[in-house]
Amino acid sequence: MKGNSSPQRAVCILWHCHQPLYRDALTGEVVLPWVRLHSARSYADMPERVLEVEGARAVFNLTAVLLEQIDGVRSGRQDLWETVALRPAEDLDLSERAFCLTHFFHVQGRDLERHEPLRALKQRLEGLGDAGEAAAGKASVGDLRDLQVWFHLAWCGSALCEEEIVRSLIEKGTGFTESDKAALHQRMAERVRAVEGAYRTAQAQGAVELSTSPYYHPILPLLCDAALSDPAPGASPPLDFSAPLDARIQVVEAIEAHARRWGRPCGGLWPSEGALSSKALRALAPGPLAWVVTDQALLRSVGNRSGAGVPPDGHLTPYRVRTGEGEVAVFFRDTHLSDRIGFEYANWPDAEQAAGDLIGRIDALPAAGRRPDCVTLALDGENAWGYYPDGGRPFLRALYRGLAAHPRLKMMTFTEVLEGAGGIRALPALESIGTGSWIYGSLGTWAAHRDQRRAWGFLAQVRARGGAPDALDGVHLAESSDWFWWLGNEHRTELRGTFVRLFSSALRLGCRQRGVREPAGLLDWEAGAGGAVAS
């Protein structure tokens, strides 16, 4: 493969950070802890890694619903898991003991194998039998307290693990006290409070560009016209949901929330799950938006203004595409290289070699033959790091240093690329783009399974009965991609019933807000969908 000989190749890295709303829309109870735990692990660490290397640049896509929940954690709102974890171990009732045994081994990636005391604790507690109330009644107070502490120790990010309080608890390994537990939670809470400031500092220094996604993270093509975007045409029940106004509201509300929080408009947007279609693009309001990013799979079967197909290396430059209100630059991520970060390099024993391999592959890509020559890497900014040694810090340091020092590559933000190119009008034009997402280039993850399609049907019923409010409400929350993610056959979780509950509570709230009755069959569907996945 012929490498790139030009010194002008830009490398844009987008880290997408998102968590759905884990608060029951009807009761207000926060039922899952992942916002708090990811904040302690990686949300503040990530911009700090960029600032460590002169010349490093990155784009962080922070969803509005994630930031809203971080605000809640900062203000002291507890989730159910935290409430149980903070209860003195000797005061836990039988159901709370069972909760600990059931849930507090939900650590990420390879954290269980890295911590020998946690592995030993797991073996000891599993020896009591199934993680029900019978086993819970046999567990010692000391083991339960150790589990309360270890669950959170395992979620501490690399920055926290360097601090004396966390390092000393890891070294202690067992026999924790209530004072140990309280001190750990206090420090983790302080780390959560540091998240927003870390991004403000990095933005102020020009090292990062901040962007957003549609407010509650919906799949835009399915909102605009689910039947047109149907990934399984002919499947039952049929998809019959079309609400381009909802797509527009989700985008506009996110843009406005971003400007209020960060004091400046966002230059661009990562559509939820990278999911776009030509109709979804037309629903965007360019306003302050200059760019969007999606997957290179969406370059399939599209044509440029000359009628020629996009070349195989077409993703190595952004294009301008007309929307409903002007033109927007569309960057296409390199799927293979992005996925190597997300799924492969964590298995490499040497972080320097892994980073060097990635940089070499970027440099070896063929010259785009157009300007700007740009490689886009876009991926999840939170879930991979539990699989990397030291939370990914050695890999990110090596990657940023290697790119910053490279003679032919330059780390840039998307806005910097557009400015250097002379603006959107300087880009090659596309008449349209394909329909799909960054998951296999399709939308099947959110709309192929019967349970998913019935959920879309409930949404359509409520919207048809209650009209189309011009502000966010429970129906918009129920449109979140995250509920549908867990309703199909592709992804398994012991918490499936919780996600079904969150979808249903949002939809019921929307019914109350719009003054309409609950869709017929919702209760039965909820009972069935919350259990095992049907074929």
35-57 pLDDT tens trace: 999 999 999 999 999 999 999 99
Q: Sheet of 319-323: strands edge to edge?
A: 268-269, 291-295, 326-333, 319-323, 429-430
- Assign 104 a pLDDT band (cuts: 50, 70, 90): very high
> Which of 5-14, 78-87, 150-159, 212-221 has the weakest average pLDDT?
5-14
Q: pLDDT band for position 258 (50/70/90)?
A: very high
pLDDT band at 382 (very low <50, low <70, confident <90, very high): very high
Range in 5-9, 121-125, 139-143, 283-287 with the lowest mean pLDDT: 5-9
- Angstrom distances, CA of residue 76 to CA of 62, 189, 423: 21, 9, 44
Residues 508, 513, 518, 519: is their CA dihedral positive or negative? Answer: negative
Please state whether the predicted TM-score (pTM) of the whole model is above 0.85: yes
For residue range 170-193, what is the model confidence (pLDDT) as tens digits? Answer: 999 999 999 999 999 999 999 999
Q: What is the mean pLDDT of residues 51-70?
A: 98
Separate counts of helices (H) and strands (E) for the chain: 26, 10
pLDDT digits (tens, 9 = 90+) for 121-132: 999 999 998 767
pLDDT at position 286 is 64
Mean pLDDT of all residues belonging to the chain: 93
Percent pLDDT > 90 in the chain is: 85
Give the CA count within 13 Å in the CB-facing half-sphere of 268. 26
Q: Are 286 and 325 in contact (CB under 8 A)?
A: yes
Helix, strand or coil, per DSSP, at residue 221: helix
Q: What is the pLDDT of residues 345-380, one digit of tens each?
A: 999 999 999 999 999 999 999 986 777 999 999 999
Please state whether beta strands 319-323 and 326-333 pair in parallel, antiparallel, or not at all (unpaired): antiparallel
| DSSP-H helix ranges across 380-495 | 393-404, 414-421, 444-447, 450-466, 474-478, 481-485
pLDDT level of residue 109 (50, 70, 90 thresholds): confident
Give residue 211's pLDDT.
98
Kindly report whether the peptide bond that precedes residue 233 is cis, defined as omega within 30 degrees of 0: no
Instruction: Mark out the alpha helices in 75-140 (DSSP H runs).
Output: 80-86, 94-103, 111-114, 116-126, 133-138
User: Is the pLDDT at 269 greater than 90, yes or no?
Assistant: yes
List, for residues 441-467, the tens digit of each pLDDT value. Answer: 999 999 999 999 999 999 999 999 987
The whole-number pLDDT of residue 532 equals 46
Tell whether the model's pLDDT for residue 74 goes beyond 90.
yes
- Dihedral in degrees, nearest 10, Cα atoms 135, 138, 143, 145: 90
- Over residues 196-204, the mean pLDDT reads 98
Per-residue confidence (pLDDT) for residue 285, from 0 to 100: 66
Is the pLDDT reported for residue 134 higher than 90? no
Whether residue 533 is predicted with pLDDT greater than 80 in this model: the reply is no
Rounded Cα distance, 7 and 409, in Å: 6
